[in-house]
């Protein structure tokens, strides 16, 4: 039996990407040790030029300096305590940002260790010359053989090889890279394990994919997103309003005969402005990108992460995303008096040397349901395998006086007719029914003893991945519309779409059709996300608001998208949307908590300031704080400590449950709004119990 060699294909990354990421960055779990290791970076952030970037914390920094000056001029337990805890407030805010940045820098450092100064074998007019990898330029051709490191990013233009990309993706299984198609891109620093390839360099030295990865995960270089800028403006406005309110209090206090010290007024200002969210805002944004890195996804900017949280429409390729990608034999339908066992024997024989996924699935089906051997006998090995071709649209085997063919209905019918046989009337309805249900029919026929006849039909099904209907239901609950994009005919596309549970589908899709659909959605004010890996996907990736390119794809696709999935798992787009929503929800939840927080601190400080003049205000002292000084100092201490308490939540993110916007708002107000009011009452009261023990304050 003559056979053809089939190159192995990369298997889908079914394991969660987070497992690979855990190996790289230790997961996303917060460790108290991170506070200590990030302390030097936090101390460096006391630089006023750094503080100026955050208006809320800059006000706290200025207040700390002011109170410190007054405390030095008139030292007391109260003034020194307030000054110290104001500085701790700034320190804890710096610490939150430093911890978030530190996790990104740890990932960047691990990536730097993967960089290798490789020696390249550059081809010039067909002659090899050895040069340093740093001397390569765009368009250069380099030869890489087994055991050698690929010197720079590029596309394979000749040959096929297995490549170890574990240093980049964390996945130990080697991958196939070959010329042509959508699996030609290679990354500098990865290692060729077998065979020989010629690579065309596509990046300049210092601009490789690894270099860009390092720059992306460095939290310190992360620019503020539009939502962050808008929230910063809001917080700055609130700070100005509270500043004016505090300044206006002093004339009132002086008129009443109880002028307040600068220390008390500063403490009041710091406690009333939204210091909690101001301190954690940067850490929340950095942690959002870090959560993507933990799942082996790189975002070119924070804007892409936020856009993922606001997505309205999700475009998903059918093959490899919604379905497994390889059609599988799921049913054998015998016709014309043929028994199922006879059909199984015939179609197994025609598929023994068929190395395609469809052929292997037919042999597996025959072995599983009819107990037939998956391996050919010695006699069967003497047969001649007939490969599938676009002209014949059939494949099969010739074994002595027996010939078996399987393939497209029209081609097999013609083959039977050419050999003097008749096609059973049962074949047409079976073929039509399978096609109408979204399957692919393969007609099986044989010539035995000079008589040609059709034995039956094999149903090939594009199997939908388990759990997809449930995941699409979750997306629907988030208000996201899902659209399946496929090159199949509308009949097949509808059957798959109904089985998977997507909201809509685009059949017989060409690159320009994807672009048109994306633009149509965007013109309606919607944000669109999609995945892609081929050069033909690049225009749509660039047009979409969130374009996730597969790492196995072409360089053009990776350049066009604003995210790169190192695991090349198209279904991860759903996780990316959830991470984006978690980022937005975390920011909203902590903003709600911070604003609600101020209400309780208001009840702690204002009664303490004026209770001596207006005894009626003592009724507002519902926490029964010991003295005005202990009340003010307790509020300042709580204001600082709550930042440290919330750092793990800011880094981990608020748990996201798919639900409507109104349900999320109710949950936010109930948990973080009410919690923001109640927590300070208990916290300030507990701190006051300790503060009142300090001589001169309690």
Residue 390 CB partners (closer than 8 Å, separation 6+)? none
493 and 639 housed in the same domain = no
Burial of 2 (0-12, 13-18, 19+ CB in 10 A): exposed
378 marked as binding residue: no
Which residue would you say has higher pLDDT here, 678 or 222? 678
Is the pLDDT at 228 greater than 90, yes or no?
no
- Could you count the other beta carbons within 10 Å of the beta carbon of residue 596? 20
475 and 624 housed in the same domain = no
82 and 224 housed in the same domain = yes
How many Å apart are CA 421 and CA 221, to the nearest integer?
73
394 marked as binding residue: yes
Nearest Cα residue to 693 out of 646, 623, 626 = 626
Q: How far is CA 339 from CA 332, 371, 394, 442, 523, in A?
A: 10, 15, 22, 17, 57
Instruction: Give 272-306 pLDDT, tens digit per residue.
Output: 899 999 999 888 887 887 788 778 787 776 778 88
DSSP state for residue 148 in the 8-state scheme: P
Task: State the CATH number of the domain containing residue 485.
Answer: 3.40.50.1000
395 marked as binding residue: yes
pLDDT level of residue 53 (50, 70, 90 thresholds):
confident
Within a domain: 353: yes
358 marked as binding residue: yes
Tokens of 599: 């209400």
Instruction: Give 69-105 pLDDT, tens digit per residue.
Output: 999 988 888 899 999 999 999 999 998 888 877 765 6
Within a domain: 414: no
Of 526, 544, 566, at which residue does a domain stop? 566
Of 566, 594, 628, at which residue does a domain stop? 566
**pLDDT given at position 105:** 63
User: Active site includes 488?
Assistant: no
Lookup result for tokens 């072409």: 554
Query: DSSP strand E in 225-358: where?
Result: 297-299, 313-317, 328-334
**pLDDT given at position 325:** 63
Query: DSSP strand E in 46-205: where?
Result: 119-124, 127-132, 141-145, 154-164, 175-178, 185-186, 191-192, 196-201
What is the pLDDT averaged over residues 52-67? 93
- The percent of residues above 70 in pLDDT, for the chain, comes to 85
398 and 476 housed in the same domain = no
Tokens of 545: 């608001």
290 marked as binding residue: no
Q: Please tell me which of 25-39, 100-114, 493-507 the model is most confident about, judged by mean pLDDT.
A: 493-507
478 marked as binding residue: no
354 marked as binding residue: yes
What is the pLDDT averaged over residues 318-339? 81
Catalytic residue among 140, 153, 155, 317: 317
515 and 472 housed in the same domain = yes
Number of domains in the chain: 3
544 and 605 housed in the same domain = no
How many Å apart are CA 639 and CA 468, to the nearest integer?
45
H or E element at residue 483: strand 481-485
* Angle of CA points 169, 557, 178, to nearest 5°: 65
252 marked as binding residue: no
Within a domain: 194: no
Instruction: Give 447-492 pLDDT, tens digit per residue.
Output: 988 889 999 999 988 778 888 888 888 888 878 899 988 877 787 7
| Alpha helices (H) in 372-458, listed in sequence order | 409-418, 427-436
Catalogue the long-range contacts made by 384-390 (C-beta closer than 8 Å, 24 or more residues apart): 384/1, 384/2, 385/1, 385/2, 385/3, 385/4, 385/352, 385/353, 385/354, 387/4, 388/354, 388/356
590 and 605 housed in the same domain = yes
Task: State the CATH number of the domain containing residue 358.
Answer: 3.40.1110.10
- Could you count the other beta carbons within 10 Å of the beta carbon of residue 684? 27
* Residue 450 lies in domain: 326-409+438-457
99 and 243 housed in the same domain = yes
Is the pLDDT at 19 greater than 90, yes or no?
no
Query: Are the C-beta atoms of residues 668 and 659 closer than 8 Å to each other?
Result: no
Nearest Cα residue to 650 out of 219, 223, 60 = 219
Q: Residue 358 forms beta bridges with which residues?
A: none
509 and 386 housed in the same domain = no
545 marked as binding residue: no
What is the pLDDT averaged over residues 334-356? 87
Within a domain: 200: no
């Amino acid at each position: 039996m003559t056979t053809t060699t089939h190159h192995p294909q990369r298997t889908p990354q079914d394991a969660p990407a987070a497992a690979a990421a855990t190996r790289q960055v230790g997961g996303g779990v917060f460790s108290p040790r991170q506070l200590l290791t990030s302390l030097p970076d936090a101390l460096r952030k006391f630089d006023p030029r750094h503080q100026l970037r955050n208006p809320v914390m800059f006000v706290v920094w200025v207040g700390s300096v002011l109170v410190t000056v007054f405390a030095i001029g008139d030292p007391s337990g109260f003034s020194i305590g307030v000054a110290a805890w104001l500085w701790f407030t700034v320190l804890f805010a710096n610490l939150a940002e430093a911890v978030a940045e530190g996790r990104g820098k740890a990932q960047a450092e691990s990536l730097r260790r993967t960089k290798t100064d490789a020696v390249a074998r550059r081809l010039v007019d067909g002659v090899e010359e050895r040069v340093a990898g740093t001397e390569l330029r765009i368009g250069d051709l380099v030869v890489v053989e087994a055991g050698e490191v690929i010197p720079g990013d590029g596309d394979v233009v000749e040959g096929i090889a297995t490549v170890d990309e574990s240093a980049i993706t964390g996945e130990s299984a080697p991958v196939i890279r070959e010329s042509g198609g959508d699996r030609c891109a290679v990354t500098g620093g990865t290692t060729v394990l077998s065979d020989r390839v010629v690579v065309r360099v596509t990046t300049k030295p210092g601009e490789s994919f690894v270099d860009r990865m390092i720059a992306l995960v460095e939290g310190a270089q992360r620019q503020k997103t539009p939502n962050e800028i808008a929230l910063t403006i809001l917080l700055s406005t609130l700070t100005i309003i509270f500043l004016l309110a505090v300044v206006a209090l002093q004339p009132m206090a002086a008129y009443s005969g109880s002028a307040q010290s600068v220390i008390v007024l500063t403490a009041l200002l710091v406690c009333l402005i939204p210091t909690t969210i101001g301190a954690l805002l940067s850490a929340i944004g950095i942690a959002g990108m870090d959560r993507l890195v933990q799942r082996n996804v790189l975002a070119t900017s924070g804007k892409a992460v936020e856009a993922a949280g606001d997505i309205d429409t999700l475009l998903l390729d059918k093959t490899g995303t919604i379905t497994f990608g390889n059609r599988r034999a799921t049913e054998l339908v015998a016709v014309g008096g043929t028994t199922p066992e006879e059909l199984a024997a015939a179609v197994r024989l025609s598929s023994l040397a068929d190395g395609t996924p469809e052929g292997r699935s037919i042999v597996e089906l025959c072995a599983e349901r009819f107990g037939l051997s998956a391996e050919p006998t010695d006699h069967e090995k003497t047969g001649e395998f007939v490969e599938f071709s676009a002209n014949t649209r059939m494949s099969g085997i010739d074994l002595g006086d027996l010939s078996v063919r399987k393939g497209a209905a029209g081609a097999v019918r013609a083959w039977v007719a050419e050999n003097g046989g008749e096609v059973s009337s049962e074949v047409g309805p079976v073929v039509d029914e399978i096609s109408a249900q979204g399957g692919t029919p393969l007609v099986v026929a044989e010539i035995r003893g000079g008589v040609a006849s059709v034995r039956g039909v094999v149903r090939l099904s594009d199997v939908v991945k388990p759990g997809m209907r449930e995941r699409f239901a979750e997306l629907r609950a988030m208000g996201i519309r899902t659209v399946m994009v496929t090159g199949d005919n509308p009949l097949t596309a509808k059957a798959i779409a109904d089985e998977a549970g997507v909201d809509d589908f685009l059949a017989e899709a060409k690159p320009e059709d994807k672009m048109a659909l994306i633009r149509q959605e965007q013109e309606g004010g919607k944000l669109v996300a999609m995945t892609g890996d081929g050069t033909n996907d690049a225009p749509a990736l660039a047009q979409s608001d969130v374009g996730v390119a597969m790492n196995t794809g072409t360089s053009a696709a990776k350049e066009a998208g604003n995210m790169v999935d190192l695991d090349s798992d198209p279904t991860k787009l759903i996780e990316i949307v959830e991470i984006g929503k978690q980022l937005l929800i975390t920011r909203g939840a902590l903003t709600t908590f911070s604003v609600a927080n101020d209400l309780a601190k208001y009840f702690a400080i204002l009664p303490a300031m004026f209770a001596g003049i207006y005894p009626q205000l003592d009724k507002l002292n519902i926490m029964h704080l010991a003295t005005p000084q202990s009340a003010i100092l307790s509020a300042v201490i709580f204001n600082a400590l709550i930042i440290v308490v919330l750092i793990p939540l800011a880094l981990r993110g608020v748990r996201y449950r798919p639900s409507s916007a109104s349900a999320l708002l109710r949950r936010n107000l109930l948990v973080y709004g009410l919690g923001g009011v109640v927590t300070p009452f208990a916290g300030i009261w507990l701190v006051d119990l300790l503060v009142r023990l300090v001589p001169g304050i309690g």
